[in-house]
Amino acid sequence: KGLSSDQVQALQDEIDANQNAMLNLMIQALTDSNDKLQGWLDEGIGILNFDGVKIDASKFAMPEVATNAEDAAKAVADGGDWSVDAVSSRIFDLASAIAGNDPEKLEKMRSAVEEGFKQAGVTWKNVVGQDKMPEITQKTYDDVMSRFDKRAEELSGKTTSATSAVNETVTA
């Protein structure tokens, strides 16, 4: 049996509500991060001090967050400000700058990034009600972990691999 027009409309309404909730969650999280960093810059805190490692805060200023579907699609596409490569670069560049040439600090930063993705998964599930995060998040996680692997290999001269499965990390 097929669905009635009322059932189809109810399903479409639920899909639309979920998409709006997802978009609003992402916009809010990114806007909060941007606001925090911009606040530091406005207060003249141009240098961030991470346990003695000093980093120019303006280097990590984030781009504007799209507020409509068309701009969001452009932003997450290859070459966009929120593409897998762009987000992975921002995450890894900050972690790598903090770690410097210290393999132990690099591993701590990897763990912190893994925990960040895990917490994002928990928030996602709580707000949207879905266990699995969007594909772009999983691709970003994979790309960031690949960068950690490559850098760890450079520092140690040995081959390393990601220590956590993507689904375990990015899902609640």
What is the pLDDT, as a whole number, of residue 1?
A: 57
Residue 166 has pLDDT above 50, yes or no: no
Total-model pTM = 0.65
The DSSP element (H or E) to which 108 belongs, if any, is: helix 103-128
pLDDT, averaged across the chain: 78
In eight-state DSSP terms, residue 171 is -
Beta strands in 7-111, from DSSP E residues, in sequence order = 47-50, 53-56
In the predicted model, is pLDDT for residue 165 greater than 80? no
Q: What share of the chain is helix, strand, coil (3-state, %, to 5)?
A: 70, 5, 25
Greater pLDDT, 127 or 114: 114
